[in-house]
Amino acid sequence: MSNTHMDERGGLVETAREVARRLVGPLGRRWVHVQAVGRRAEELRPAVGGDGDVLVAAAWLHDVGYAPEIAVTRFHPLDGARYLADAGFPVRVVGLVAHHSGARFEAAERGLAAELAAFELEDSPVMDALITADLTTGPDGQRYTYSQRIDEIMSRYPAGDPVHRAWLMARDALEPAVARTEERMRAGQPR
């Protein structure tokens, strides 16, 4: 899938939405979450300037790695990134999906840090906004505060689970991304 091919099919965002619908649509509740994260990313476009399409595409694609047909490692950020890279998505979108919402913390817990490191970790307003979109949206599409969302995630996994352990480390590390995005949104709003 070249960038030209994406333009012919309606652009990056529409292509991302179509791929997400095909792969995540059958997953019920996960699809509800992804749609809400996509909408939230649209709201956050002012926080990222001219990178809005990259943000929204990554938001639509962030959970494609849960699709059974591409879940190789069962670590969805890595499986999703590998699939998207093979499908020809832009390197930047692939990296955002690979590293969304603190994936590096869980990768370390699962022994997959080296594999995840094959994808570039972006430190930018776009990554901050992707973290915000995902981590202020609940599993049923409801709006949460960052703390509510992390509490909800941790409540689903027992203390010994890699996800629970990862969020013990990631919680404080990722919270500033949400604060930066909220500040960028305030700064961009008319006064």
For 171, the token pair is 């919680």
DSSP conformational letter for 122:
-
Residue listed under structure tokens 């995840």? 116
Mean pLDDT in runs of 10 for the chain (191 residues)? 43 98 97 98 97 98 98 97 98 98 97 98 97 97 97 94 95 97 84 38
Q: pLDDT per residue over 23-68, tens digit each?
A: 999 999 999 999 999 999 999 999 999 999 999 999 999 999 999 9
- Largest Cα separation within the chain, whole Å, is 49
Tell me what pLDDT residue 188 has.
Answer: 78
Global pTM? 0.93
